[in-house]
Amino acid sequence: MDQTKTPRMKTAGFVMMAVLVLIDQLTKYWAATTLKAASIPLIPGVFELSYVENRGAAFGILQNANFFFLAVTLIMLAAIVGVLRKVPEEKRYTLFTLCLFGLMAGAVGNLLDRMMNGYVVDFLYFSLINFPVFNVADICVVCSVILLIILMVFVYRKDDDLAFLKPGTKADGDEKK
């Protein structure tokens, strides 16, 4: 087998995504059933678990725009799937691919909340800096985006490294042999 190919990369990505969505949903369920009565300080004055029903986006913007968030999330998921179809199944793109699945995990986790509840459950709160309350799905999105930026700036610097993303290029495996 060619050592540069990793045909199970996308399967591993789907498994990772499913595990992250499960962790996100289980922690949100726990927060909804445990933290509604009172917050739990883990590091007093620094970090606590505090239940919040977020009907907006990051930092509470666009309150009650649920249809907008649903539409944007579905469009973004479709775009990510389109990119995933084009990513070559090579070891050098493993981290890139896993970041895309991490991004999808976060999007799906919060999408499920919006579809089932009409809001997103947030519960992680850095009280020291009064940072907006967030959840596991948000962590997946932020970490994936930061890592994608780092990869694009420091790893995939040559013009042809991400050539598969250019419009008109065929999806991996679509080339005729």
Q: Is 168 helix (H, G, I), strand (E, B) or coil?
A: coil
Q: Is 8 helix (H, G, I), strand (E, B) or coil?
A: coil
Place of tokens 């919040």: 52
CB distance 66 to 114 below 8 Å: yes
Q: Is 59 helix (H, G, I), strand (E, B) or coil?
A: helix
Residue 102 corresponds to which tokens in the numbers above? 């991490």
Residues identified as active-site: 122, 138
Cα-Cα-Cα-Cα dihedral of 70, 112, 145, 20, to 10°?
A: -170
Q: How far is residue 95 from each of residues 23, 125, 150, 156, 171, measured CA to CA in Å?
A: 21, 29, 11, 11, 18
